[in-house]
A and B are shown apart, each in its own frame.
Chain A
Amino acid sequence: MESHSVPARVLVVGTGFIAAQHAAAIHAEPRLELAGVVDIDPGRAAAASRANGGVPWFTDLGAALAETGADGCVVCTPNDTHADIAVQVAAAGAHLLIEKPLATDVAGARRAVTAFARAGRVLMPAHSHRHYDYALAVREAIGSGDLGAVDLVRLSILGGWIWPDWRGWMLDPARSGGHALHNGVHLLDLVTWWTGDTPETVYARGRRRTAPELGIHDYLEMTVGFAGGAVAVCEMSRGHAPTSYARRDVLVTGTGGILTLPWDAEAGTVTDESGTALLPPGGTDGFATQIAAWADALTGAPPAVTGADGLLAVAMGVAAERSIADGRPVRVADVLEEAA
């Protein structure tokens, strides 16, 4: 991938809800070219092909890799398939941008990291929030030193929108890894990246707000204690009322000051019969930034998010799920050691 004149050829694997955003980002990135789409569901694979100018479609990843000779894959399949698919992509000598979580357990995440280290290929977990304007703004404010040493962090991403119905794999802890793995890793990764610190303990509390029969906790509160002295409270909710509720809120205090990023900081609001909501913030497309960072990594730049980052986020997610079950703080090092 030395030359910019020859775009890297990329497969999108798993053509469900989030895949379209990745495909759009690939089309917009001159260093990448969509080589084909893969989905075990032939109808979806074919539809994705049609939506993307008739690129070749496949129901088998091995066949797709062999036939297209793709340089890289963007994987958007359900969480429980990630580790095996990652190992398969590494074995084929391709690079990988993989949706979060890197795996649903630490052993799987470790297998993926090891496979890519051996293959000498790029592994970048898609912790997409790192590429959003708000997250970059917080990171830059902390990095500027204006806030001094970070003390408390609050990151709350709250919604009332649960996945469509019981058939969604996101609701099945065996497939999603549980909500701490599914969505929690976004926040756990972000606060770790913001503070630049090593997470030591996770104390988490979970609720089943939408229905007592839920197998996952649709509301999560994950409190991270960092080795350097910072503490972070991460709230992830799909269980708020009303269902239209959508808020993101950030607070950072440090020895030098305080940063607040309230829910309405990013755009104007609109009030109508259904209440008050945020207008779309006209910021940067995070998926475009993410794919550009991956393209950078393919040409030798260090990846914006490393396999080790993805592994750590998985370990923190596992610690959170365990803490909810046990009602006590869980040491991240213990979780990492078990699966060593």
Chain B
Amino acid sequence: MSGALRTLPWGSGGLGTQDHQRDMYLPAFRGHPGFTVVETAAGDLTTAIAETGAQVVSVCAPPEERAARIVEALRAGCHVLADKPLALDVADAERVAAVARETGLVCMPAHHHRFGAAVQAARGALAAGRIGLPWNVQADFLVDGGDPCPQGELVNFGLYPVDVVLALTGQAVERVHALPGRDPARSTLLLLDHEHGLTSTITVGRLHGTAAAPGMALHRYRVSGSGGVMDVDATRPGATVRTASGTRTAWHGPGTVGRMLTALHAAIVTGRPPEVGPGDALAALRVTDAATRSLTLGTPVSLDPSEV
């Protein structure tokens, strides 16, 4: 499609067995009118960009080299969609953030859950003061079945609900306490203290898999404010279709990844700051890092105020 942004998929690595490039991003890029996927047999990224004339790179390089590839793509003048986690440690995430700032290009970490229709609507309502000043969020992010992540689910998808809570409230995290679930690799409880006295509590876990697996067992946010309460089921919108072969959810509109690509496209073509950037990846990473420390220590961990 002419006018569509030439998009180069780079890498198929992820934590454990996951391949977000094949399973999530490529189908979404292919299905999105704002992008056209380009391909090449080139073995290194800079050459591939030059050969294809790519404007956007979808980086799913293995986590250990992901930050390096993102920087390489930015240096070659491309906008980036970066699989999560954008980097494995804070230093790498900071490096990516610095290069993105320097080049002025869009570098979007694939925190797609914050783009969900229900989350976005809630975010807008909160920002408009619909329930007054928020003081507490209770969140559940429980995945039903699938392959457990060898690095643990806190590292794997813990950042999603943390990012959503930050997107909803805009209140930075100052202190983190974490408790391990029965199988610490499978589930974690996060108890966060934010700015302005806001507190949040997030369950992060992967169930062993029910008859309904794979999918989302529960993905929801209850936000309490000085003037009311908001219940956000992030798995909505969706019609429930129950048939002889089981139960499924059906919906016509774009999902979270498609909506994220629309935001990516808008940021690139308008030049307006993207809704989510490397700073958000850094903020979420600091929380999950602190949670890992809290799990080891058994006590709450304060984030360095200079980092917040």
Contact = CB atoms under 8 A, between A and B. Distances in A.
Whether chain B is bound by chain A comes out as yes
A258 B228 CA distance: 28
A257 B201 contact: no
Contacts of B182: 149-151, 228-231, 255
Given A241-B226, A258-B217, A152 B205 contact: yes
Contacts of B229: 240-241, 245, 247
Contact of B207 (A150, A156, A253): A253
Contact of A260 (B179, B218, B225): B218
Given A156-B138, A203-B179, A241 B132 contact: yes
Interface stretch (A20-28, A117-125, A219-227): A219-227
Contact of B203 (A152, A209, A241): A152
Interface of B: 131-132, 135-136, 138, 140, 142, 144, 177, 179-183, 186-187, 189, 191, 193, 197, 199, 201, 203, 205, 207-208, 210, 217-218, 224-229, 298-300
Nearest to B186: A151
Contacts of B205: 151-152, 253
Contact of A152 (B132, B144, B177, B187): B187
Chain A contact residues (Cβ within 8 angstroms of B): what range? 35 or more
A258 B224 contact: no
Contacts of B300: 327-328
Contact of B140 (A151, A251, A327): A251
B142 A253 contact: yes
9 smallest CB-CB distances across A and B, nearest first, come from A229-B182, A151-B182, A151-B181, A231-B179, A257-B210, A231-B189, A258-B217, A241-B227, A152-B203
Contacts of B183: 151, 229, 255
Contacts of A229: 181-183
Interface in A67-95: none
A205 interface: yes
- Among A150, A219, A231, A235, the most chain B Cβ lie within 10 Å of the Cβ of A231
A251 B201 contact: no
B181 to A, nearest CB: 5
A152 B203 CA distance: 8
Contact of B299 (A235, A253, A328): A328
Contacts of B177: 203, 329
A154 to B, nearest CB: 7
A44 interface: no
